[in-house]
Structure 1
Amino acid sequence: MNAAPLPSDETVAASPALSVAPVPEPRRRILIATDTYPPDVNGASYFTHRLACGLAARGAQVHVLCASDDGRPRTETAGGVVVHRLRSARLLLHPTMRVSLPAGLSRTVTELIRRIGPQVVHVQGHFVVGRSTVTAARLAGLPVVATNHFMPDNLFQFARVPKQLRERAGELAWRDLARVFAQVHRVTTPTRIAAELLSGKGCPGQVEAVSCGIDLQRFQRQPQEWARRRFGLADLPTILFVGRLDEEKRIEDLIRALPYVLNNVDAQVVLAGKGARREALARLAARIGVGERVRFLGFVPDADLPQVYSAADVFAMPGTAELQSIATLEAMAAGLPVVAADAMALPHLVDGNGFLFRPGDAKEMAAHLTRILTSAELHASMSRASLALAAAHDHERSLARFEEIYTELLA
């Protein structure tokens, strides 16, 4: 029998059985280096986790380099992210955080970069892990992005820095950050105000504001009565704070404001979080006669935070060292009006959705809280404004911008 004729080029092109599948683009390899990562409880830790998992979900191959949560070095995979935990020791200045041990760290980071072969490196600070990774990445000729979450005020309480020395200590801390960030190719921070602060403190080059972003869908409001029952809260007008109960959050101001609120509204303050000031805050509440109107929920797992916001009527943020305040953004995504200190980056989150007050002015804070809690019409309009403002901080937009920055550097 004669062999069948070979198909012509036209036949090949038209035949589905012989079509060539497109070659998939190689996954981009990204190394994220950070000194704090879950189970650490703080804004930088949560942001870094969302960044890593979000990039992985969008198709990147993501590795995270961080301090071990129990001291043992190990590698694990979670949420599509490979996490390399470095040998660590408890940080004497902080009750829960750990720090990677400097001895041999540079060699370890250099070897990990060689094995992982990242195309871009993204550090989340200038401390031990971030500093070593910047140096190793530059020696390897890799582009480096740095995101700053640091404010000197975040450390003063734990470092026991006397108040009269804090200004000088802050200057030294900013100078150290500028030295490290001078070695990277791009610097970002969550807000425009934070970017202006960094530039003013000597950080070289242009600093770009890229929001930390939040998952808007997670924080849609749920039935308030059900949420209050879940946490054992009284069915009263509720003022909520979410975050660490530490010095720079200035929660004392909120507790001192409560007696003035109670002159007009039978309300309660709910504090979700843990920290070094917990017992002192309870003593203060008892001393000024509002102990029964202040509820401490302790640590609330991230998965349960949407229910906490649903239990509230208004969100209060008295802290003065916020570079963005993820908790405030989450509250806004849940439709809560906001009363916040007129300090650092908080003013950029308040525009028709709440009020700002002079830091430390408990009476002014109370007056704003009272206005919101006593006017259904004002509460409704501010709730709508919060939802509209939060929409601009969708985490998918933030992830897309970071991907664009990586592409720009690789180009």
Structure 2
Amino acid sequence: MTMPDSQRPLTILIAADTYPPHVNGAAQFGYRLAKGMTGRGHNVHVLACRQDKGKSYTEFREEGTVHRLRSHSVPTHEYFRITFPWEIRKEISLLFDKVKPDVVHIQSHYMIGEHVLYEAVKRGIRVVATNHFMPENLNPFLPFPQWFKDIVGRISWKDMGKVMGQADVVTTPTPLAAKAMHQHAFLRKVLPLSNGIDSAAYEVKDGEVIEPHHFPTVLFAGRLAEEKHVNVLIDAVAKTPVELGVRLEIVGGGEVRAALEAQVARLGLQDRVKFLGLASDAELRLAYIRADLFCMPGTAELQSLVTLEAMSASTPVLLADAMALPHLVRDGENGYLFTPNDSNDLAAKITRVLQLPPEELKQMGKASRCMVEPHSIEGTLQTFEDLYRGASYEDKAV
């Protein structure tokens, strides 16, 4: 008996310019996408950079077969790697010959994503393209004056339109990002599709006992980068009432950690601010559950998976009123928005939330948990599988 095309396992090639062990939302999405599609019975291959010097190689991991391309470090970023077209084009072509993908899913229009798309188009293979960030996200890593960065940004938007315009379907995590791609990359059809979250993974299990913090605790999780503005959060904690005893936990690593540690020392907050470094999934889950409040002060978030994870753990949130973050807050219900880069406003709202009676704080957390339901990872995976099998933008647009 022949299996219907709608049920036949697919061979999927995911092209990711950033992928674990990278620590960022796009890298985590690529990993979860691969793992989810493998779990659905598909044959998944991931093409990404290797993290050190050396020739390209292949590794077999739980989420699929990961092909690591030779790459080169950049002086302005602690872990990001770049690939050179003349080194990867032939390897990409040979990989297509070997893998014979039914569909290609690129995660950006840069480097690997770009050349995988060109190869797929040349061979008549279906392409889904997802954009996870704005060209402006590169600004902190470009050692140039702002006028030159603006030129780079315009060129990058133009390239995004040129590359992703050749895909069969283009997606991005939020309606705000889709609007930006319409306006700046001139992409006519962009499908807003959440990165998805396995919200049940962050719930307290039956019989599980997790000790609360002894002091009201704010949590930040993410890459310690300039655009995250963790310095604003540290300043805000310093401005909260001493008698409230607010503590701050910072999960993650990045290029500004040394500067943040110096700021904590300068403010005399060593006993109130703890840098936890990179954390395992299990450690991060516990941090979300134990926190009284989660804060994301970043101003360049296209969705913020860490915020969705914190909300899944029934944690109230304080988020900067910037980019896509306002979509994750109902003021006064599950938390508050604050004015970006305004430590006074943030301090006032940290104080307001952490002075709430325990039952009201718990209700805020429950509201957060309810709000993540539309971001189900299963719904996201099903939609992408439908797109891989030929569904169009019109089929999935709401």
Structure 1 length normalisation: TM-score?
0.89
Report if the CA contact (8 A) 2:103-2:127 is conserved: yes
Which of the numbers 36, 47, 60 marks the counterpart of 1:77? 60
| Structure 2 CA distance for aligned equivalents of residues 131 and 171 of structure 1 | 17
Q: What are the within-5 Å matches in structure 2 for residues 60-209 of structure 1?
A: 60-71=42-53, 72-209=55-192
User: Aligned in 2, Cα 1:208/1:298: closer, same or farther, shift over 3 Å?
Assistant: same
Which of the numbers 360, 382, 389 marks the counterpart of 2:341? 360
Report if the CA contact (8 A) 1:224-1:312 is conserved: no
Report if the CA contact (8 A) 2:31-2:63 is conserved: no
Say which SS state the counterpart of residue 129 (structure 2) adopts. strand
| Structure 2 CA distance for aligned equivalents of residues 34 and 360 of structure 1 | 31
CA displacement at 1:39 relative to structure 2: 1.2
Structure 1 window deviating more from structure 2 (292-301 vs 69-78): it is: 69-78
CA displacement at 1:260 relative to structure 2: 2.1
Report if the CA contact (8 A) 1:243-1:327 is conserved: yes
Q: What letter corresponds to residue 113 of structure 2 in structure 1?
A: G
CA displacement at 1:166 relative to structure 2: 3.5
Aligned partner of 2:15 in structure 1 is 33
Which of the numbers 310, 317, 322 marks the counterpart of 1:331? 310
Which of the numbers 241, 244, 263 marks the counterpart of 1:284? 263
Aligned partner of 1:249 in structure 2 is 228
| Structure 2 CA distance for aligned equivalents of residues 173 and 362 of structure 1 | 32
Structure 1 window deviating more from structure 2 (97-106 vs 367-376): it is: 97-106
Q: What letter corresponds to residue 359 of structure 1 in structure 2?
A: P
The runs of 5 or more residues in structure 1 that have no matched partner are 1-20, 229-233
The runs of 5 or more residues in structure 2 that have no matched partner are none
Report if the CA contact (8 A) 1:372-1:378 is conserved: no
Aligned partner of 1:237 in structure 2 is 216
Say which SS state the counterpart of residue 275 (structure 2) adopts. strand
CA displacement at 1:112 relative to structure 2: 1.2
**Is residue 299 from structure 1 mapped to residue 259 from structure 2 by the alignment?**
no
Report if the CA contact (8 A) 1:33-1:133 is conserved: yes
CA displacement at 1:227 relative to structure 2: 5.5
The percentage of counterpart residues that share the same residue type is: 41
Say which SS state the counterpart of residue 136 (structure 1) adopts. helix
User: Aligned in 2, Cα 1:153/1:263: closer, same or farther, shift over 3 Å?
Assistant: farther
Q: CA RMSD in A?
A: 2.1
Report if the CA contact (8 A) 2:193-2:380 is conserved: yes
CA displacement at 1:224 relative to structure 2: 10
Structure 2 length normalisation: TM-score?
0.92
Q: What letter corresponds to residue 51 of structure 1 in structure 2?
A: L
Report if the CA contact (8 A) 2:308-2:372 is conserved: yes
Report if the CA contact (8 A) 1:214-1:330 is conserved: yes
Which of the numbers 381, 388, 396 marks the counterpart of 1:399? 381
Q: Deviations over 1:16-69 (max 9, x none)?
A: xxxxx7758532111111111111111111100000110110111111111112
Which of the numbers 359, 367, 371 marks the counterpart of 1:385? 367
Aligned partner of 1:4 in structure 2 is none
Aligned partner of 1:369 in structure 2 is 350
| Structure 2 CA distance for aligned equivalents of residues 302 and 196 of structure 1 | 32
Report if the CA contact (8 A) 1:153-1:248 is conserved: no
Larger Rg: 1
Q: Deviations over 1:1-25 (max 9, x none)?
A: xxxxxxxxxxxxxxxxxxxx77585
Report if the CA contact (8 A) 1:227-1:308 is conserved: no
Equivalent residues, number: 386
| Structure 2 CA distance for aligned equivalents of residues 140 and 227 of structure 1 | 56
Q: What letter corresponds to residue 32 of structure 1 in structure 2?
A: I
CA displacement at 1:284 relative to structure 2: 1.4
Q: Deviations over 1:256-289 (max 9, x none)?
A: 1112223451111110001111111111122233
| Structure 2 CA distance for aligned equivalents of residues 172 and 344 of structure 1 | 21
Report if the CA contact (8 A) 1:63-1:81 is conserved: yes
Report if the CA contact (8 A) 1:193-1:344 is conserved: yes
| Structure 1 CA distance for aligned equivalents of residues 86 and 282 of structure 2 | 37
Aligned partner of 1:5 in structure 2 is none
Q: Deviations over 1:118-149 (max 9, x none)?
A: 11110000111001111101000111111001
| Structure 2 CA distance for aligned equivalents of residues 203 and 66 of structure 1 | 27
Report if the CA contact (8 A) 2:235-2:343 is conserved: yes
| Structure 2 CA distance for aligned equivalents of residues 235 and 77 of structure 1 | 43
